[in-house]
Structure 1
Amino acid sequence: MLIHEVVLRIALAVIVGGLIGYEREFKNRPAGFRTHILVCVGAAVISMIQLYSVEETTRLILAHPQLQSALKADIGRLGAQVISGIGFLGAGTIIHEKGSVKGLTTAASLWVVACIGLAVGLGYYTLTLLSTAAVFMVLASLKRFEARFMEKGNLVKIELQYIDKKQLTYIIEGYFEDKNIKVQNIEFSLEDDDNIYKSSLYTVLVPRYIKISKIIQELSVYEGIEKVNLVE
């Protein structure tokens, strides 16, 4: 492999990894700019090592035909190890916090950067450029679409203070159903003096396109509800 080809592939790996890593760094993710560059460059180096191995094996066989049955070069073995091994690095970016899992997108971006790095090292330039553009578009442009239309939400707790329990139940059930808000849990508090319900705590899954402040505002205007609080 010529020296200028090696330089070109290393430089392209830096650019590709840096472009995707910049998006992650901009959003303050665990694995950012330099991490993605290193992963992409490392994968490219592994690919070029495989090519060097094939070239060296071919050269030895041509010089010594009797070695044909003894020498072998597996061009896919090291690349397969990169793809499987990058999972350990990706696992380090995944955080489990308060019942939610964060960092999966960053782990996936590390994995795909490693795959693109293999393509860079093997000299598949068209594949490299098109896949990089696709990955960057997914990371940078589709988050708003996902937040607006995909079936995901925020788990929040809303405390309601009210006068009549029966009236409150009808109001809340109808409101949450209309807004496509899923009730995960309900906790009622019982006053000691007259054994009537005075407040309740709703744990609900709110779609991301609905603002929590709007829910608080809309519930507060219902007759019979004295106070609405968001519990942190």
Structure 2
Amino acid sequence: MTSYKEIVIRLVLSALIGGLIGVEREVNNRPAGLRTHILVSVSSALMMLVSINGFIDAETGLRTGDSARLAAQVVSGMGFLGAGTIIKTGGNIQGLTTAASLWTCAGIGLAIGNGYYFGGLFTSMTVLFTLMSLSSFEKRIAKKKYKILKIKCINRPGLIGEIGTMLGKHDIIIRNIDIVNNEVEEDEEEYGTMEIHFILDIKKYFNSSMLFCEICEVDGIHEAIFDGNRVLCSID
């Protein structure tokens, strides 16, 4: 049987590791943050401890069942929780990294709960390095390959479609659309404002000055920023 001291160490350590990964997700405003990752790690460690100690006869000291079954259900059960963090909007999918981090935290919790400290700690360091360092590296690569168009505009029906049609005329491929700010007016008759980021795949011969001229012709756009250049559009 695992001692009380060892049980406390494993549960606290799994909570700390899950918390570190959760903080990174919380800072990046992801669906699952600090508390969720801690709960996943601690509960996984607890399930492993139950698997180790819960199937031993107190009198004979012999194992009375297959202890691996309970811990194995954690791996499959995490699929339901991870699926709840994945959001699909049109062709854009968000939350896959958070779902993967939750699944990894479950694995780390199982490892720590089993006393496999080296594997759990080394995995946690790898996960933190991947989430914190490789994210900026990934963005630098994407920045070299794609261009970002930032638009501040009125949140009216059909606006994104009109912008997409205008970009399509110039053979520009939209790789991703992200609405980073959406303010709703208290008066329901008035439209709110929003900021949209378009990640674009642009041909080498593209003329950015022509893009600015046509953007301002789209009704409802206040401001556009593209490739370091900024233009203000007059609103009637």
Indicate how the Cα distance of structure 1 residues 204 and 211 shifts in structure 2: closer, same or farther if over 3 A, else same.
Answer: closer
TM (norm. structure 2) is 0.64
Q: What's the Cα RMSD here? A: 3.8
Runs of 4+ in 1 over 4 A off after TM superposition: 150-156
Q: Out of 183, 197, 204, which is 2:173 matched to?
A: 204
CA shift digits 1:98-140 (9 cap, x unpaired): 3211000000000000000000100111111101000111111
Question: What's 2:207 paired with?
Answer: 219
Once the two structures are aligned, what percentage of the paired residues are identical? Answer: 41
Question: What's 1:60 paired with?
Answer: 60
CA shift digits 1:152-175 (9 cap, x unpaired): 86897xxxxxxxxxxxxxxxxxxx
Q: 1 or 2, which has the higher helix percentage?
A: 1
Q: 1:90–1:108: 8 Å Cα contact kept in structure 2? A: yes
Q: 1:39–1:113: 8 Å Cα contact kept in structure 2? A: yes
CA shift digits 1:162-190 (9 cap, x unpaired): xxxxxxxxxxxxxxxxxxxxxxxx968xx
Q: What is the CA–CA distance in structure 1 between the aligned matches of 2:39 and 2:212, rounded to whole Å?
A: 57
Structure 2 unaligned segments of length 5 or more: list them.
150-163, 177-197, 222-236
Question: What's 1:96 paired with?
Answer: 88
Structure 1 unaligned segments of length 5 or more: list them.
63-70, 157-185, 189-198
Indicate how the Cα distance of structure 1 residues 97 and 50 shifts in structure 2: closer, same or farther if over 3 A, else same.
Answer: same
Q: What is the CA–CA distance in structure 2 between the aligned matches of 1:24 and 1:43, rounded to whole Å?
A: 19
Indicate how the Cα distance of structure 1 residues 220 and 31 shifts in structure 2: closer, same or farther if over 3 A, else same.
Answer: closer
TM (norm. structure 1) is 0.65
Q: What is the CA–CA distance in structure 1 between the aligned matches of 2:140 and 2:173, rounded to whole Å?
A: 18
Select the structure of larger CA radius of gyration: 1
Q: What is the CA–CA distance in structure 2 between the aligned matches of 1:226 and 1:104, rounded to whole Å?
A: 34
Deviation at 1:229, TM superposition (A): 2.2
Other structure's SS at 2:67 match: coil
Q: What is the CA–CA distance in structure 1 between the aligned matches of 2:43 and 2:169, rounded to whole Å?
A: 55
